[in-house]
Structure 1
Amino acid sequence: MSTNTRVMHATPEQVWEVLADGWLYPLWVVGASRMREVDEDWPAVGSRIHHSVGAWPLLIDDHTEVLDATPGAMLKLKAKAWPTGAAEVTLHLRARGAETEVVIEEQAVDGPAALLPKPLQDPPLRWRNVEALRRLAYVCERRP
């Protein structure tokens, strides 16, 4: 499992607001290029966001589903991006005064990516999630 951490200059509630707005997903998730639909009850367990991965004209439509959620504290997702497979991604939010420590854990669980040995999975996931946390911080820290 790949794990990355970043402290953001935003409260857990402010970070959660961004995570709870499924339409913002492509702003911070590396690889997500557009949103097609967001279930009305996102981020309730079982709800989905429907997104596309890739760059035009090579877009693949898929979805991400909420596996578990504790508002303001934790969001666990199953993100699909066929043909590469699916990953379980967990974001933990921990208050640090007026800031928030965000920890993201990701592991390939289905498809060809899950067949790769962990030492080959971790470097690209680590790089991707450093960038995802950087983008998430930009969005959270610049909201009113």
Structure 2
Amino acid sequence: MMDTIRNKLDDRGVSPVIGVILMVAITVILAAVIGSFVLGMGENVSEPAQASIGFEEKNSTAVTINHNGGDSLENATVNARVDGDSHTFSELNLDPGQSQTINASEFDTTPTFSDSEVEFIVTKDSQTVGTGTVEFSS
């Protein structure tokens, strides 16, 4: 009879302890979730720039880049690929509706545009914003 009474007394203490542990766990999880929303931990993700870009031959040594719409481009980079070689122009600043002409001499190494098919790639923050190919004549 004494064993039965002890078992009942031992079992009564288990349930409140488990309940307290569960309540503390739920409180900690809720605090973490609410804290992450309040502190804005998920807001640091930046979206890449989106723009409609057009390219056209200005003359045999220059290309005009047209910003047809989308996000403004500040300090964007233009890469020109000619015959497997890549050439970089690093200071493209365009708002929608604007255009900018870049001469071959303004690239880091001077490409030869005449009589070539040139692929242009505009990037901002390491994200490709626009690409195009221009067939240059002599």
TM-score norm. by structure 1 comes to 0.26
Q: With CA pairs under 8 Å and 6+ residues apart, which has the higher RCO, 1 or 2? A: 1
TM-score norm. by structure 2 comes to 0.27
Bigger Cα Rg: 2
